[in-house]
Amino acid sequence: MSRKVGVVWDSTFLEHDAGRGHPERSERLVAIREVLQSRGLWSRLEPLPSRQAERFELERNHDPRHITEVLESAGKSKTLFDGDTQASAKTAEAALLAAGGAIDLARVVVRGEVERGFSLGRPPGHHAEKDHAMGFCYFNNVAIAAHAMIQEEGVERILIVDWDVHHGNGTQHTLEHESNIAFLSLHQQHFYPGTGRVSEIGLGEGRGYTVNIPLPAGMGDDDYRYCFQAVVRPLVEQYQPELLLLSAGYDAHQRDPLGGMSVSTEGFAAMAHDLCELADEYCDGKIVALLEGGYDLEGLSTSVAATIETFLGDELSISGDASKASSHARRACAEVQGELSEFWTFDII
């Protein structure tokens, strides 16, 4: 059965220039759109009109001074936030559109106007902290969208899943006191930005609602499927979110130049399949993906296409057998289960 899937796209996203030779480049979105069009997927998506996020929407997640600093970069050829994070004349506009698009896409999914959604927004967001830009990110799109759904649409529980190879430090830190927005990250251990240890489980009322699964380099499809079976599924079953938000980074792909993982395109299709299945079981099908990392154009574009095909309800080849997971993945999940046993029940130990 074909599903109605919304998409966020704006040509301004292509005008953000992170600097000569930077891996987070406009060609990423060009490659994605070319693959979607060549496979006949683009015409099947429901385009969402673009709009810039309002300042009050950003202030739910970011300090006013940080917002001002990003906005003041508009029109300037180069503004350096850190060694990896450089703004160009159009960066502020693109970042506002990415945040506004994330909110509106989540909203139409929550309201049932479309069943699922994928935002091809750029720049990405999950490294953006409350008070500063970092790691190619300026505004934290997924956290901003989550706050809006809680405060404006009456959603009571949201789960953010982040499968980018890098830990979503900004998302975790801005939400770690929350219990109505849970955060789960699968990421490469001992890697940028150095956060995301198993022991980081949230603070105050948010204890138990931050879940980190740091995995050693080299993990592949079988290992990620095991993590979904051992940790992701039981968390969803018990938390029962009303909306799933996915920080969809594809730099865990085996071709990626920055990551050290071995996930295939079919492996990403399998994870998307698992999340869609969980969304159908517990969230009335409501799932929204926001593009994060992924820097090999072929690996990125084919994996995004596979995710969108899965969102559309198409049958496609998937990869990953949890029963064949490595001892490294099993040990990592056992550590997570032990750390969170006070809050959640896990069958697989």
Q: Which helix (H) or strand (E) element contains residue 169?
A: helix 169-175
Are 227 and 326 in contact, with CB atoms under 8 Å apart? no
Question: Which pLDDT score, from 0 to 100, does residue 157 have?
Answer: 98
Distance CA 183, CA 211 (A): 6
Distance CA 239, CA 232 (A): 10
Residue 56 backbone phi and psi in degrees, to 5 = -65, -30
Question: Which pLDDT score, from 0 to 100, does residue 349 have?
Answer: 60
Buried b (16+ CB within 10 A) or exposed e, 284-315: ebbbbbbbbbbbbbebbbbbbbbbbbbbbeee
- Measured in whole angstroms, how far is the alpha carbon of residue 107 from the centre of its chain? 17
Domain boundaries, the chain: 5-339
Hey, what long-range contacts does 275-284 have (CB within 8 A, 24 or more apart)?
Answer: 275/161, 275/244, 275/246, 276/116, 276/310, 276/311, 278/232, 278/233, 278/236, 278/244, 279/116, 279/244, 281/236, 282/236, 282/237, 282/240, 282/241, 283/241, 283/242, 283/243, 283/244, 284/242
Distance CA 62, CA 68 (A): 10
Instruction: Give this prediction's pTM.
Output: 0.97
Q: How confident is the prediction along the chain (349 residues), in pLDDT tens digits per residue?
A: 689 999 999 999 999 999 999 999 999 999 999 999 999 999 999 999 989 999 999 999 999 999 999 999 999 999 999 999 999 999 999 999 999 999 999 999 999 999 999 999 999 999 999 999 999 999 999 999 999 999 999 999 999 999 999 999 999 999 999 999 999 999 999 999 999 999 999 999 999 999 999 999 999 999 999 999 999 999 999 999 999 999 999 999 999 999 999 999 999 999 999 999 999 999 999 999 999 999 999 999 999 999 999 999 999 999 999 999 999 999 999 999 999 999 999 987 6
Residues taking part in catalysis: 127
Residue 110 in tokens: 């929550």
Distance CA 318, CA 336 (A): 26
Which string of DSSP letters, residue by residue, matches 58-127?
A: HHTTS-HHHHHHHHTTTT-S-EEEETTEEE-TTHHHHHHHHHHHHHHHHHHHHTTSSSEEEE--SS--TT
Place of tokens 């006013």: 64
Question: Which pLDDT score, from 0 to 100, does residue 163 have?
Answer: 98
Are 321 and 50 in contact, with CB atoms under 8 Å apart? no
Residue 116 in tokens: 């699922």
| pLDDT tens figures, 62-100 | 999 999 999 999 999 999 999 999 999 999 999 999 999
- Measured in whole angstroms, how far is the alpha carbon of residue 195 from the centre of its chain? 16
Are 139 and 64 in contact, with CB atoms under 8 Å apart? no
Question: Which pLDDT score, from 0 to 100, does residue 2 have?
Answer: 83
Distance CA 133, CA 86 (A): 9
Distance CA 101, CA 52 (A): 7
Examine residue 193 and say whether the peptide bond preceding it is cis (omega within 30 degrees of 0).
Answer: yes
CATH of 5-339 given 3.30.300.30, 3.30.70.270, 3.40.50.2000, 3.40.800.20: 3.40.800.20
Q: What is the number of other CB atoms lying within 10 angstroms of the CB of residue 3?
A: 17
Distance CA 6, CA 108 (A): 8
